[in-house]
Chain A
Amino acid sequence: MNERFLRIKRIVLGPRNREFSKKVEELSGETVNLCEQCGTCSGSCPMVGEMDITPSFMMRMVQLGEEEVLESKTFWICASCYTCSVRCPRGIDPAKVAEALRQIKLRAALDFLDISKITEEEAKILPQIALVAALRKFTG
C-alpha cells in the first residue's frame, strides 16, 4: 500500500491516552483495538436507551485512551447481561471493558451506590442476590 496513505490514516496516541487505554486493556484482559465499530453491541444492548453514550462509543473512547469516558454513566447502567459478549463479531467482551471502567472508579473510592438510600420497604422485598450483586458491582 502507498506509504503516504498509511501515514495519513495512522492515529498516534499521546502518552497519557496510551497509558489509560493500556490500563483498561490490562484490567479487562480484552484487546479493545480489535473493535471495528460495527455497532452490534449497541444494537443488542437492552439498556442502550438509558445510556448517555452507546457501548460502541465507549469502546472507541477506550481505544483512543480518552479518560473522559469515566464520567459517562454507560458502564454503570450495564447490567452484565453479556448479550454484546456473545454477539461481538470480533470476539471482544465489552462487558469486561465496562467492568474495568467501574473498577477504575471504585478503586479511587468513588462508590456509585449509596446503600443508605435503599428504603426499608425495598430492603424487605429485595432478594439477597440483588443486594450482593449490586454491592459488588457498585461499591469498592
Chain B
Amino acid sequence: MTRMPYYPGCTLKTKAQNYDLSTRAVFRELGIDLVELPRWNCCGAVFSLVTDDLLRQVAPITNLIRVQELQGTDSVDDPRLVVPCAMCFNVLKRANARMKDNPEDLKKINDFLYLESQPYRGEVQIIHTLELLKEISAKRIKEQVKFPLLGLKVSPYYGCNLLRPKDVAIDNPENPTLLEDFTQALGAEVVFNNRRLRCCGSYQTVSEKGLVADLVYDIIMGAARAGADLIITACPLCSFNLDWRQKEAMEAHSDHKLIPVIYYTELMALALGIGNGFGGEHFVDPQPLLQKFLEKEKGGI
C-alpha cells in the first residue's frame, strides 16, 4: 500500500459523499491508501483572477502547509497531494503556481500566516485522481476488472476545471482522452459527445437556473444522440448541474431525454467488483440501469 496525502474538499464531505467514498475504495483496491489531510479547510472553490487579491490565496496555501506537515510525519510514502474535486484541483494548483512564480507573494503570505507551524516552501506537488489513474495505467486497471462493463454505453464529460486554463490541464485541453481510455479499460463502450468539453454553467446554477438548464439540455442531448446510457464526470458541480438541472431542461424541452450521471470512480467500483452502494442524491436515478447491468453480469457467470 502506498500512502498519499488526500484533500477531499467541502462538497465531497457532504453532497458528493459518493465521490469521496468511491474514490477511496477504488484507490485502496489499486494499492493506494489516501490519507486525509488533518485540519484541511475550504479552498475557496474558484481561483481569484485579479492581481491584487493575495488574501484570497490564503485558504489554498494553508492547505498546502497541512501537506508539508503531513509529509513531515511518517504517515505518507508518496508526498504528492491527491485531489479528486475538479474545482478544488484548479484552485489549489493555480494558487500553488502563483506562489512558485512569485516569491514576493509567497513571502507576503508566509508573513501573514506567521502563526502556522511552518512557512509554505512552495514545493508541494498536486495531482488529480485521473492523473494518478493514468500513472497506474489503463492496462493494470483492465487486469483488475471483475465485471467488464460489456455493452454499457458511457459518455465521458470533462467540463472546464480539469482542462482549462492550459497550465493546469491534466490532458490536451481541446482533445482529452483520459476518461475515454480508462472507460475502455473497464470494458464499457465509449460514446463520443461533442459537447463533452462544454461548460455546464458552473456556479450560475445558483442565480440563473434557466440558463444552466439550457446548457445542460444541449450537453445531455449531445450524449443522447451519440447513444449514451450513462454520463460520467469528475466534478461535483458538473455532476449536480448535469443531473439536477435535467428537471428544468425536461420542463422546457419536450424532447429532452433523461440520462443518469455518475462519477467515474463509481463506474470503476462497479467494474472492479467493490460495490455499487455509495449512495448519493440524484434527480435521474442511475440505479435501475446499474442494477439491471449487474444482474445481467452476475447471471452470465
Q: Quick one: CB contact mask for A74-105 with B, threshold 8 Å, 1 for yes?
A: 00010111110110000001011001100100
Cα distance A50–B204 when bound, in Å? 12
Cα distance A104–B215 when bound, in Å? 28
Residue A125 at the B interface, CB < 8 A? yes
Cα distance A134–B45 when bound, in Å? 9
Q: Main secondary structure on chain B at its contact with chain A?
A: loop
CB pair A136 B50 closer than 8 Å: no
CB pair A128 B11 closer than 8 Å: yes
CB pair A27 B52 closer than 8 Å: yes
CB pair B236 A129 closer than 8 Å: yes
Given contacts A50-B211, A80-B202, A125-B244, contact A132 B10 (CB under 8 A): yes
Cα distance A127–B212 when bound, in Å? 15
**A92-137 CB contacts (< 8 Å) to partner B:** 93, 95-96, 99-100, 103, 112-113, 117-118, 122, 125-134, 136-137
Closest-CB distance, A35 to chain B (whole angstroms) = 17
Cα distance A77–B210 when bound, in Å? 12
Contact of A28 among B15, B42, B49, B202 (CB under 8 A): B49
Given contacts A79-B201, A81-B199, contact A129 B165 (CB under 8 A): no
Interface size class of B (residues with CB under 8 A): 35 or more
CB pair A93 B202 closer than 8 Å: no
The residues of A that contact B85 with a CB separation of less than 8 Å are: 129
Residue A34 at the B interface, CB < 8 A? no
Name the residue on B nearest A103 (C-beta). Answer: B50
Cα distance A95–B163 when bound, in Å? 15
**B66-96 CB contacts (< 8 Å) to partner A:** 85, 87-88
Name the residue on B nearest A133 (C-beta). Answer: B203
CB pair A96 B164 closer than 8 Å: no
Q: Quick one: CB contact mask for B202-218 with A, threshold 8 Å, 1 for yes?
A: 11111111010001000
Cα distance A69–B47 when bound, in Å? 23
Contact of A133 among B9, B46, B49, B211 (CB under 8 A): B46
- 7 further A-B pairs in the complex, CB-CB below 8 A; given A80-B49, A134-B206: A27-B52, A82-B160, A96-B49, A117-B207, A127-B11, A130-B205, A132-B46
Query: What would be 23 A-B contacts, judged by CB atoms less than 8 Å apart?
Result: A27-B52, A28-B49, A28-B50, A79-B199, A82-B165, A83-B160, A83-B197, A86-B174, A93-B49, A113-B207, A127-B15, A127-B237, A127-B240, A128-B10, A128-B14, A128-B45, A129-B85, A129-B88, A130-B203, A130-B240, A132-B45, A133-B46, A134-B206
